[in-house]
Amino acid sequence: MRALGVVKVKICGLKTQEAVEAAILYGADFIGLVHFPKSLRHVSLVEAGKLADLARGHVKIVLLLVNPDHALIDEATRRVSPDYIQLHGGESLEDVCSIRTRGNLPVIKAIAVETADDVAGAASYGKVADMLLFDAKPSRDTLLPGGNGIPFDWSALKGFNSDKEYMLSGGLDPQTVAQAIRETGATIVDVSSGVESAPGIKDLEKIKTFIAQAKK
């Protein structure tokens, strides 16, 4: 199974102006800003708003939240004004619908994958979210729902059908992304730790190489 057309790329967990500018310069289609205090990639909503302003009009802006309440959704949409809200926690179907309505924004729902059963179980979310993101299921001893640099068995996506695009994430890096695209047919790939020199620190050259490998 092969992706059709040019693959789109999301560079997630950006914290600096330099990283945002690099993502734009090298051809990213989405940037991800993480607002989750437990993450090494966390940015405040004020910081996220400034980074979003740098990117606006160049790439799509995704704000990642984990189990947000209505107050956080209201503040996030006001301060950041993202193009998408990415939900990376244990949000229910009802939560996704409520957040989508509350923020009046498209929602990307992250799905933790270990086996094909996890992918099959995502079908109901595909009916209420605007896009799904398949990420590796975190180990039990981690505090982070994503960005752990762990791949999952891509064969779990075999036979997955949806009329909506999905993002492929989980342990991708410049060396593995092309193979991942070939094996899954993913049309959008998402990377965070795979383009870092140290946890939470983006490597601009790795961003460049990842995007080039994904789009070639």
What the block records as the tokens of 137 is 């299921």
Residue 203 annotated to the active site: no
Look up tokens 């940037």; give the residue: 31
- Residue 141, exposed/middle/buried by CB under 10 A (0-12, 13-18, 19+)? exposed
Among candidate residues 150, 135, 143, the one with its CA nearest the CA of residue 190 = 135
Of 12, 29, 135, 173, which is the active-site residue? 12
> Where does the chain have alpha helices with state H?
17-25, 45-55, 70-79, 93-103, 116-120, 123-126, 177-184, 204-215
**In which region does residue 24 sit, left (phi positive, over 0), alpha (psi from -120 to 50) or beta (all else)?**
alpha
Task: Count the Cβ atoms, other than its own, within 10 Å of residue 184.
Answer: 21
Residue 153 annotated to the active site: no
CA angle 71, 36, 59 (to 5 degrees): 90
Of 97, 117, 118, 141, which is the active-site residue? 141
Supply the residues annotated as catalytic: 12, 141
